[in-house]
Structure 1
Amino acid sequence: MQEAIAILQGNQRGDYRDGVKVGRDLFASLPENNRLVKREKERWSWENQRDECFADMYVHPQEIDYNTKTLFELIDASGLEFVGFSNSRYWDIERLVGKNSELMERAKGLSQRRLYRLIEVLDPEITHYEFFLTRPPLAKVDWSDDNTLLAAIPELSPCMNGWPSKSIFDYDYQVVQLSEIEFAFLQACDGNETATIGEILQRVELGIEELRSLIKRQLILLTTG
């Protein structure tokens, strides 16, 4: 839509009032089943009632439609290191093709960036990117090693909502139902500063796979002991 507005504005490009008028006229004129119209109504119609918001999204001269390929080109040019997307559930290929083991196996052979691009083209509903960057080099810990994991110091994620309760919201505002043993382990992590996972597991009989599930769901954060 941004490009269509710019084309129709011609020499008036940069005139925000004119751009908003052209854009609104376009949305009003296009067929109801047009993909751009449906997307606007489903995702942005409430915010874009204000002309300022509409202009910021569709008329801004610096507005660029990125995909993961161009996003990583921008990140590489910055000299910073990509850490990860904040909405990790969206970037999980299993939610899209997890029912097909052959496709999942093929996906395992892809680089992380190619996998991101695959997810994006299979589910193009994403409207923006939220991610973390750091100055290199970033020290990374391999928590797949049990001994390293047991020596780590756990703490509760500050992104949980509703704690302390067995029914909480995670970092992505998804409801999480905790088992009795999971709740007990998280209680032991609440306010913890020195006890390692190994020491806590001596008091709370949580299995290693249940522990890894808490980590994967980002309910606890780990620091090397």
Structure 2
Amino acid sequence: MTEIALFPLSSVLMPLSRIPLQIFEKRYVDLVARCMRENEGFGVVWLQQGSEVSGGSLDLPDISQLGTNALIVDWDQLPNGLLGISIEGRQRFAVESVWREADGLIKAEVLLDAPPGKVALPNQYDGLAEVLKSLLRHPQVSQLNLPLDFADGWTVGFQLAQLLPLDESIKHALLGVDSLEQLLEELDKLLREMSGEEPA
């Protein structure tokens, strides 16, 4: 069991993927400073409904019990003066217990999965890698400087799940998939539906 700080977001973070964050609450500014100083991460969990702003309350938000451990890979001061960071998902975790500290920061005891290992992308899913390559041409995506490996199935699957315009509930379901074959199959099906194609 591992104790980590949690950062509830309205977005799901996939392993091997990156998202930008804008930090403005003091508890998270302090968390980011500590993580950068000590080279440690924090947990990202999907905020399923409502707001995470505590307003001094010790009540816990409605968060998912499945999350992704994240590391800060870049930071900058944004034009609005706030702190901007880029985080990269490393491995999934299951939340076992959760509580709110006096400063409002949420912490949890979690069970960490092993980071996804390298598995060759099956030939029948080469089209998914091509879709990912096309998404990477978008300026906002290219700025993320994603760790690319088009031959690795988990990298292609998780990054595609992160970047596609899917409902967060669907992304959360994809995060929970344990089989690479199932993840790629679900993504292929979703892409066919988005393009109006009949299922194979």
TM-score by length of 2: 0.23
Greater relative CO, 1 or 2 (CA 8 Å, sep 6+)? 2
Q: Which has the higher strand share?
A: 2
Larger radius of gyration: 1
TM-score (norm. length: structure 1): 0.22
Q: Name whichever structure is richer in helix by fraction.
A: 1
